[in-house]
Structure 1
Amino acid sequence: MFLIWNILSFFFNKYTFGVALLLLVLKLYLKFTTGYCRSDATIHGKTVLITGANTGIGKETAKDLARRGGRIILACRDLEKAKKARDEIIASTKNENIIIKKLDLLSLSSVREFAADIKASEERLDILINNAGVGAMPQRHTEDNLLPTMQVNYFSTFLLTLLLIDLLKKSAPSRIIMVSSVAHKYAKLDLSTINVRKACGPQRLYNNSKLCLMLFSNELARKLSKTGVTVNSVHPGAVLTDIFKGIPKFYYRIFLVIAKAYFKTPYEGAQTLVHLAVTPGLEKITGKYFVDCAEDKPLPLATDEGMAKKLWEITEQFVGLKPEEKFW
């Protein structure tokens, strides 16, 4: 028995050291490959609109851009949380030009009301950051008969962006930043079942929504190629934010231990968004995909023009796009 115990102890100690070493190497790799915005450019006189800006990456992006002197519009569903975020940003940056606007991406009517408000109250819009997103949500259709994950991550973002195009064109050179995800590379998109309940599981649905966002971003970049408005997509990295709070409590506790050790902080996750928003020299870079403040290669399907055009046509029908809302 003593011999067996010694043998087991040997293998346990041997492999524990190996695993610990592997985890340390992984931690160092993630630390040294994280990209940071190196530009010290200011944006005085510019207006920035950020969706989902009351927490996580959105709030950190808003804080950074406020520190650079921009007029920041926080587009949020929860106004109480938005007010707390605004107060925190003002206290941190001393920039009081922080505006809160109600936007519920689970409602297309809310998107239209919000866009109408922005166009009536704002003279310019220099930077639009479509940051808001959700993870796995119950697959129950919304009041607009859309799957919630697809509506927040893609359909409402599509509609909101198109409704604000005229203001962005008026303010050119201007920038649109789409917060996508590396998850788009694991999508299996069937346009015929894009809004069909239980056509795929929650994770696949999320992946598909991010691929749709990429396809939209690239097609929009083509349509805006001669307007001075650029459109680029971002994978912010694996970031510990509220998007994971939908995980069942038991698994969330386990996940939290791993995430705190290896995921990016919201500040780190915001860096590529800030880079695309402010860095000089990117005024003509459009239709690209960025990771850690550098251009990266997306899934080949994400650049498929034929698929993008078909998706665009289908999406127009799902969001009820009106003839007067088309800019092309």
Structure 2
Amino acid sequence: MKTFKLESIPSQKGKVAIVTGANIGLGYETALALAKKEITVILACRSLAKAQKAMDKMIKEVHAADLEIILIDLNSLKSVLDFAMEFGEKHNRLDFLIANAGIMMPPFQKTKDGFESQFGVNFLAHFLLVNRLFPILKNTVGSRVVMLSSLAHKNARINFSNLNAEKNYSNWKVYGQSKLACLIFAYELQRRIDDKGLKLKSLAAHPGFSSTNLGHLLPIIGAKLFSPFASFIGQDAKAGALPTLRAALDPTVKGGEYFGPSGFKEIKGAPKVVNSSSRSHDLLVASKLWTVAEEMTGEKFNV
């Protein structure tokens, strides 16, 4: 695969993208880059004020940016359903669904539906969002779904007996589990797409070690160390967004590929196809996770 150069990607005018968590960090940089390609970008955010502030900032840089805010709270499955309904009422195509938003290592807490927050927000809400928007994706030629994973997936496993962390809670292990779930879902979705002979792609990406807003959820001392440490050995959000943007925009990508930085230990560097853990390719776990996600979200997902 050739080196990816964002500036060499031509205008994508007429196409539509959704970016969850588009008001800050990786999501902001992803949405901004898509707007520069003349894509209509839906800023899918929880806070109207923060989304509006981000939109205003983007428009200052890209005066002709075609941006729209639709609110979504990934802590609530009802909010996900409301978002999908509103999007469907306004748009009849969806070329890029970027499942970017996430939380990292908060104290134990539950979503409005009673799920452990990291598994609920990072994975289950996005699983339901893709499910509800899949009919539009399926009818949009060449559409792509990009799930955000993490280096943390590599040491993780899916603990089906403790998905809501009610037996015990390790914020780091549960974070890794949620990001492993996102990656497993991306692979399984592509397998089901292939089985049906559909013409869309499911992909995944991770930002390496990126200095983003997620660090504020670490303990106070860790948060103070996280940002300068990440800046020193890692990369900023603009660079961290490049694997996602390659997954979304590179015309040479194949469904089921996983993108991350090309540097040492995938910490930083230009985006390339990277490998993932053996657990992420476990077909039995993938099938079980899909079924469990359907049960937890209350909706069947028929590709």
TM-score, length-scaled by structure 1: 0.85
Task: Return 5+ residue gaps in structure 2 as ranges.
Answer: 262-270
Aligned residue pairs, count: 290
Unaligned runs of 5+ in 1: 1-33
- Alpha-carbon shift at residue 193 of structure 1 (Å): 1.5
Displacement of 1:262? 1.9
Q: How does 1:160-179 map to 2 (within 5 A)?
A: 160-179=129-148
- The whole-number CA distance in structure 2 between the counterparts of 1:109 and 1:271 is 31
The answer to whether 1:79 aligns with 2:48 is yes
Q: Which moved more, 1:89-98 or 1:204-213?
A: 89-98
Tell me, in whole angstroms, the C-alpha distance in 1 between the residues paired with 2:4 and 2:215: 23
Match of 2:244 in 1: 273
Kept after mapping to 2: 8 A contact 1:239/1:264: yes
Q: Are 1:112 and 2:81 counterparts?
A: yes
SS of 1:290's equivalent in the other structure is: strand
2:155 to 148, 172, 186: 186
Amino acid of the residue matched to residue 267 of structure 1? K
- In 2, Cα distance between equivalents of 1:255 and 1:138: 17
Once residues 235 and 115 of structure 2 are traced to their aligned partners in structure 1, the CA distance between those partners, rounded to angstroms, is 31
Matched residue, 2:172: 203
Task: Please tell me whether the aligned partners of residues 176 and 231 of structure 1 are also in contact (alpha carbons under 8 angstroms).
Answer: yes
| Structure-1 residue corresponding to 2:276 | 298
Residue of 15, 27, 52 corresponding to 2:21: 52
The alpha carbon displacement at 1:55 in A equals: 0.3
Contact 2:202 2:255 in 1 (8 A): yes
SS at match of 2:204: strand
Residues 122-131 or 248-257, more deviating: 248-257
What amino acid sits opposite 1:304 in the alignment? D
Match of 1:316 in 2: 294
Residues in 2 aligned to 1:119 and 1:299: alpha-carbon distance in whole angstroms:
36
Q: Distance in 2 between matches of 1:38 and 1:102?
A: 30
The list of structure 1 runs, each at least 4 consecutive aligned residues, that deviate by more than 4 angstroms after superposition, is none
Q: Distance in 1 between matches of 2:168 and 2:302?
A: 33
SS in 1 for 2:292: helix
Structure 2 counterpart of 1:15 = none
Task: Identify if the C-alpha distance between structure 1 residues 93 and 198 changes in structure 2 by more than 3 Å, giving closer, same or farther.
Answer: farther
TM-score normalized by structure 2? 0.91
Structure 1 CA distance for aligned equivalents of residues 184 and 65 of structure 2: 36
Tell me if the contact between 2:12 and 2:38 (Cα under 8 Å) persists in the aligned partners: yes
Structure 1 residue 218, shift from structure 2 partner: 0.8
Residue 243 (1) aligns with residue 214 (2): yes
Q: CA deviation at 1:35?
A: 7.5
Helix, strand or coil at the partner of 1:245: helix
Q: Which of the pair has more CA radius of gyration?
A: 1
- Residue 138 of structure 1 and its aligned partner are, at CA, apart by 2.6
CA contact (8 A) 1:233 1:290 kept: yes
The superposition leaves residues 174-196 of structure 1 with CA deviations (integer Å, 9 ceiling, x where unpaired) of 11111101110010322121223
Greater relative contact order: 1 or 2 (C-alpha under 8 angstroms, separation 6 or more)?
Answer: 1
2:106 aligned partner: 137
Q: 2:192 aligns with which of 223, 226, 236?
A: 223
Which of 205, 209, 223 pairs up with 1:252?
223
Q: Distance in 2 between matches of 1:199 and 1:151?
A: 16
SS, match of residue 8 in structure 2: coil
Percentage identity across aligned positions? 33
Partner of 1:157: 126
Please list the CA deviations of residues 6-30 of structure 1 after superposition, one character each: whole Å capped at 9, or x if unmatched: xxxxxxxxxxxxxxxxxxxxxxxxx
1:140–1:197 CA contact under 8 A, matched in 2: no
The amino acid of 1:217's aligned partner reads: A
CA distance in 1, matches of 2:237, 2:177: 24
Distance 2:249 2:110 in 1: 38
Query: 1:96 deviation in Å?
Result: 3.5
Check the 8 A contact 2:106/2:218 in 1, yes or no: no
1:100 to 65, 69, 94: 69
Summarize deviations over 1:268-313 as a string: whole Å, max 9, x none.
001111112112222xx11121112211110011011111001111
- What CA deviation, in whole Å up to 9, does each residue of 1:14-70 have, x standing for no partner? xxxxxxxxxxxxxxxxxxxx9764632221110010000000011111111101111
Residue 264 of structure 2 is matched in structure 1 by none
Q: Is the 8 A contact 1:126 1:171 kept in 2?
A: yes
Report deviation, 1:260.
2.4
Q: Is the counterpart of residue 264 in structure 1 residue 235 in structure 2?
A: yes
Deviations 1:253-277 (A, max 9, x none): 2233322222211100011111121
What are the Cα deviations for residues 150-185 of structure 1, in whole angstroms up to 9, with x where unaligned?
111101010001100000111121111111011100
Distance (whole Å) between structure 1 residues aligned to residue 110 and residue 220 of structure 2: 25
